[in-house]
């Protein structure tokens, strides 16, 4: 069979890296709207260049005439593909070719499964998201989650170095999400959060440390909850220069406040500004995939961390498509159309990184919830329901009914008012959300719309629970099969 690989967007940042990786072993066709750029790259790697416009009326016929074995769409942004988003994939199937794309858009990647029947009928493979996410992140999660019976958290973060080249399409994709609502999978349900919110500092290595990150959309958020039966799924990204990251966070505020629909019209001026700032920062970036859950030896957090130096960070998005294009040519991937969640092996991806300044590392860290730390040897003796209730490795949510009684004394009424306790009721709905923060927990209780929170931590000899300005020490203990909370200090 032919080994001709057609790369649409082949002269772009990620497409060019894919073309270079495959040029020595396949007949690479560098395709794009700008023939001059495609010819420059093709001449440097011994490939062929063609002008190909996916929006042209004769696109499908032009693609078929090139007779590719594999079609790779590395152009994007995939969220902007309009009313017929899968026209490239359908044209590839019609031309008798397999198809991959580097989509990082959740809706596009998940929706590729609509072509499954057609792909199987024609005996072809159609994979979406063959890039850093979800292909590489899913490969890492599969590796990290082996032996875990209950996955509480999957969190991925990508922190590129500032000197990494960034195309206009990447800028547009980021700006399209800034301030717009996205769904974070939290405690078993979708929770809306604004894109580029949730500022947090993250360190991956001595070369990638203390960098800002924010919540942003990715296929992982849509696909991982069901695929891995995870209670919580988050995805973060960050820009190395604080002025760029915090500037984008600030520019997203009008969108969050409903004063603007989007900031994508700023793509070109921001791309110009980003290019002016390229000399600053470093050429070191990284990626981390974290899985927390219950393993054979108890709760554990497992991290897979990748750090790229010497400007090799932009190689990462092309690694999965490089590996799987080779597999498609070899005919080793099952037919059908699907998001790329199970087709890439982490070991194969790491082997493909060997020529570059890229290192990977795995760390497993035991986790101990607050109640398990305090109760120590008594914790295993708790009834199963209580043990599960207090197994807080990230976010937990419980719902039920409650009877509320209130004290009648002036002091108890004052305390209830200060802590915003709900009024007395014989039967009211209750929801409790528990969130882990390193060695502490935050509990938010909602009794029929009356919400209040407390912060739990270890204290000398027991548990300390703080409600705003009020704090109580509790001699937490197990008596029989019941858990008792006697207050020893307030």
Cα separation, 199 vs 245, whole angstroms: 9
Cα separation, 365 vs 450, whole angstroms: 37
To which residue do tokens 């409790």 refer? 432
Read off the pLDDT of residues 263-318 as tens digits, 9 standing for 90 and up: 999 999 999 999 999 999 999 999 999 999 999 999 999 999 999 999 999 999 99
Residue 403's pLDDT band (cuts 50, 70, 90): very high
pLDDT at 110: 95
pLDDT at 470: 82
How many CB atoms within 10 Å of residue 266? 16
Cα separation, 109 vs 320, whole angstroms: 15
To which residue do tokens 């359908």 refer? 90
Give long-range contacts, CB 8 A cutoff, 24+ apart: 187-193.
187/231, 187/232, 187/395, 187/396, 187/397, 187/433, 188/231, 188/397, 189/397
pLDDT at 418: 76
pLDDT at 481: 86
For the chain, the C-alpha Rg in angstroms (whole number) is 26
pLDDT at 182: 93
Cα separation, 284 vs 161, whole angstroms: 5
To which residue do tokens 């958290």 refer? 153
pLDDT at 286: 97
The secondary structure of residue 459, as a DSSP letter, is E
Chain mean pLDDT for the chain = 94
pLDDT at 413: 82
More confident residue, 410 or 5: 5
Cα separation, 64 vs 96, whole angstroms: 8
Burial level of 311, CB count in 10 A (0-12/13-18/19+)? Answer: middle
**Helices and strands per DSSP (H, E), number in the chain:** 17, 25
To which residue do tokens 């509320």 refer? 404
């Amino acid at each position: 069979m032919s080994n001709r690989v057609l790369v649409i967007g082949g002269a772009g940042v990620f497409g060019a890296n894919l073309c270079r990786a495959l040029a020595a072993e396949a007949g690479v066709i560098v395709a794009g709207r700008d023939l001059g750029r495609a010819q420059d790259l093709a001449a440097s790697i011994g490939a062929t260049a063609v002008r190909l416009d996916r929006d042209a009326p004769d696109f499908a016929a032009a693609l078929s005439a090139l007779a590719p074995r594999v079609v790779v769409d590395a152009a994007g942004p995939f969220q902007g593909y309009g009313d017929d988003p899968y026209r490239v994939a359908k044209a590839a199937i019609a031309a008798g070719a397999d198809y991959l794309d580097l989509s990082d858009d959740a809706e596009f990647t998940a929706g590729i499964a609509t072509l499954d029947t057609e792909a199987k009928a024609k005996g072809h493979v159609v994979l979406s998201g063959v890039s850093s996410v979800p292909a590489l992140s899913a490969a890492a999660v599969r590796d990290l989650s082996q032996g875990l019976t209950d996955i509480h958290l999957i969190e991925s973060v990508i922190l590129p170095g500032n000197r990494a080249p960034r195309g206009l399409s990447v800028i547009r994709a980021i700006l399209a999400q800034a301030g717009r609502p996205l769904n974070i999978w939290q405690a078993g349900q979708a929770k809306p959060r604004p894109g580029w919110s949730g500022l947090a500092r993250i360190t991956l290595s001595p070369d990638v440390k203390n960098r800002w990150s924010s919540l942003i959309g990715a296929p992982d958020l849509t696909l991982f909850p069901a695929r891995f039966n995870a209670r919580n799924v988050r995805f973060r990204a960050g820009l190395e220069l604080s002025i760029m990251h915090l500037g984008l966070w600030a520019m997203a505020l009008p969108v969050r406040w409903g004063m603007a629909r989007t900031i994508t019209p700023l793509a070109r001026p921001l791309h110009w500004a980003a290019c002016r700032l390229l000399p600053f920062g470093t050429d070191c970036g990284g990626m981390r995939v974290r899985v927390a859950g219950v393993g054979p030896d108890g709760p554990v957090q497992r991290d897979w961390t990748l750090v790229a130096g010497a400007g090799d960070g932009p190689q990462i998005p092309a690694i999965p498509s490089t590996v799987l294009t080779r597999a498609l040519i070899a005919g080793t991937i099952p037919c059908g159309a699907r998001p790329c969640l199970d087709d890439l092996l982490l070991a194969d991806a790491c082997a493909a990184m060997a020529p570059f300044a890229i290192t990977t590392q795995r760390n497993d860290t035991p986790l101990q919830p607050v109640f398990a730390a305090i109760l120590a040897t008594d914790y295993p003796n708790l009834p199963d329901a209580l043990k599960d209730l207090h197994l807080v490795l990230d976010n937990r949510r419980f719902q039920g009914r409650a009877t509320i009684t209130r004290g009648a004394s002036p002091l108890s009424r004052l305390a209830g008012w200060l802590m915003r306790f709900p009024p007395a009721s014989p039967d009211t709905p209750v929801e409790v959300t528990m969130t882990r923060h390193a060695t502490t927990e935050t509990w938010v209780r909602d009794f029929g719309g009356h919400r209040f929170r407390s912060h739990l931590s270890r204290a000398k000899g027991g548990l300390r629970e703080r409600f705003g300005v009020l704090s109580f020490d509790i001699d937490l203990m197990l008596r029989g099969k019941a858990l008792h909370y006697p207050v020893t200090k307030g």
